[in-house]
């Protein structure tokens, strides 16, 4: 009886500790006005390092933070556009639609036409968002300390830094323009991929203008013939993996809204703000893993070893920690092992489960034994890309050839 009371008291104290910590995290995040969706990123980090029975506490408290992506009125953006182009908007465009065609947390997109008749997409950054985000960085140290208190033997800074760096790059339209221009040139001679051209004359630090790309969205694509969906899916798969293994780069956000499906089977790629250059250990390790997966005698142990080294984990993990990483490795490279592999919702759920279990198992062991969680820069964005791409391919029901 006494031991049960003591155990109950300890459980209550643990629950109270986590509720208080979640409240502190919410207060910290609540001061970050630049990007409300940081909450979602932090939730992902928490899921990776917290015991399963405590996740609901953090989700409930942090869930108060909302992501509002409603477009701004044109009047609030017109001044930004004129200032960036150093000329009245009417002098820069023969026509510009004042209703946004897309809106996100950083900026929104308007369709326009140049004097020479070319149709363009104009992405305009919200006024004040850059200043707000840089002010947010003052809160990052508090965030790192709060997460570090939860898992004292786990270095959460690489994970948090990965998220922060991605957001900062999304704010840098000059950087995004350079990345997109590089990708446009890289894929210009590929008949399957279309990357819109950047128009530097109508771009600046807070404005990015590109050629307009027609094409249907994912909803319409889902209704297309299966043969067409398979072509789009194969192109997306090959675009992603060629970028990773051959160019040490990843798009980072294969969201359906960033894709255009053309009726001739081509695939349009948009929005390069969340892209990431990958360090040699990550791209090289995944390239070697891909070679193993494609070989007739590819072994799971060899595949796992390359993946662990790529993400910055030791190869000699305990069987308990290694098991979900082995499952993740098998699933991630299964399409390369099985020509004509068809993506499904079941595959996406399994991949998400393995990723979560892999991160959680590593974090639990780290908490008690000091074994590190993945530390290679780019691992966070890579996992996000794997899930995002698989979800798109599942919606298409695509069979891919790698």
Q: Assess whether pLDDT exceeds 60 at residue 372.
A: no
User: Nearest-CA neighbor of 211 among 109, 126, 125?
Assistant: 109
Query: What pTM does this model have?
Result: 0.78
**Helices first, then strands: H and E counts in the chain:** 15, 12
Q: Assess whether pLDDT exceeds 80 at residue 15.
A: no
For 84-112, write each residue's pLDDT tens digit. 999 999 999 999 999 999 887 688 999 99
Flag the least confident range among 146-155, 173-182, 276-285. Answer: 146-155
* Mean pLDDT (the chain, rounded): 81
For 198-236, write each residue's pLDDT tens digit. 999 999 999 999 999 999 999 999 999 999 999 999 999
Specify the DSSP class assigned to residue 216: B
Task: Place 252 in a pLDDT band, splitting at 50, 70 and 90.
Answer: confident
Token pair 């630049």 in the structure block, residue: 34
Which of 35-49, 119-133, 175-189 has the highest mean predicted lDDT (pLDDT)?
175-189
- CA distance linking residue 340 with residue 177, whole number of Å: 35
Vertex 252, ends 250 and 256: CA angle to 5°? 120
* 3-class DSSP assignment, residue 298: coil
Give the mean model confidence (pLDDT) for residues 172-196. Answer: 95
* 3-class DSSP assignment, residue 372: coil
Q: Is 168 exposed, middle or buried (0-12, 13-18, 19+ CB in 10 A)?
A: middle
Q: Assess whether pLDDT exceeds 70 at residue 365.
A: no
Computed on alpha carbons and rounded to an integer, the radius of gyration of the chain in Å comes to: 23
Task: Place 321 in a pLDDT band, splitting at 50, 70 and 90.
Answer: confident
Helices (H), 262-344: 280-294, 300-311, 319-337
What was the pLDDT predicted at 384?
82
């Amino acid at each position: 009886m006494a031991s049960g009371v003591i155990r109950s008291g300890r459980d209550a104290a643990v629950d109270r500790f986590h509720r208080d910590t979640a409240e502190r995290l919410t207060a910290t995040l609540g001061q970050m006005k630049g990007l409300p969706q940081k909450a979602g990123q932090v939730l992902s980090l928490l899921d990776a390092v917290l015991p399963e029975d405590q996740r609901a506490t953090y989700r409930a408290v942090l869930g108060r933070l909302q992501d509002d992506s409603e477009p701004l009125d044109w009047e609030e953006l017109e001044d930004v556009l004129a200032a960036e182009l150093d000329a009245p908007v009417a002098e820069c465009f023969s026509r510009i639609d004042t209703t946004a065609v897309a809106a996100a947390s950083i900026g929104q997109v308007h369709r326009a036409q140049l004097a020479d008749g070319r149709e363009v997409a104009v992405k305009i950054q919200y006024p004040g968002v850059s200043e707000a985000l840089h002010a947010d960085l003052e809160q990052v140290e508090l965030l790192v300390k709060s997460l570090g208190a939860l898992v004292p033997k786990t270095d959460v800074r690489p994970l948090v830094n990965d998220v922060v760096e991605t957001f900062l790059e999304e704010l840098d339209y000059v950087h995004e323009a350079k990345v997109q221009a590089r990708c446009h040139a890289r894929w210009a001679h590929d008949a399957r991929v279309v990357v819109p051209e950047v128009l530097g004359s109508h771009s600046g630090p807070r404005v990015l203008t590109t050629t307009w790309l027609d094409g249907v969205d994912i909803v319409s694509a889902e209704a297309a013939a299966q043969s067409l969906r398979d072509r789009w899916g194969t192109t997306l798969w090959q675009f992603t993996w060629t970028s990773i293994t051959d160019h040490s780069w990843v798009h980072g956000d294969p969201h359906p809204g960033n894709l255009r499906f053309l009726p001739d089977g081509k695939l349009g790629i948009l929005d390069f703000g969340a892209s990431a250059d990958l360090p040699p250990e990550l791209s090289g390790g995944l390239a070697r893993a891909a070679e193993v997966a494609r070989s007739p005698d590819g072994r799971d142990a060899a595949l796992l070893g390359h993946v662990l080294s790529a993400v910055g984990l030791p190869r000699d993990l305990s069987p308990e920690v290694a098991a979900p990483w082995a499952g993740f490795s098998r699933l991630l490279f299964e399409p390369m092992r099985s020509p004509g592999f068809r993506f499904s919702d079941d595959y996406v759920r399994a991949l998400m489960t393995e990723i979560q279990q892999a991160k959680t198992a590593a974090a639990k062991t780290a908490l008690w034994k000091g074994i590190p969680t993945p530390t290679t820069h780019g691992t966070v964005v890579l996992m996000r890309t794997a899930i995002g791409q698989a979800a798109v391919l599942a919606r298409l029901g695509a069979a891919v050839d790698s």
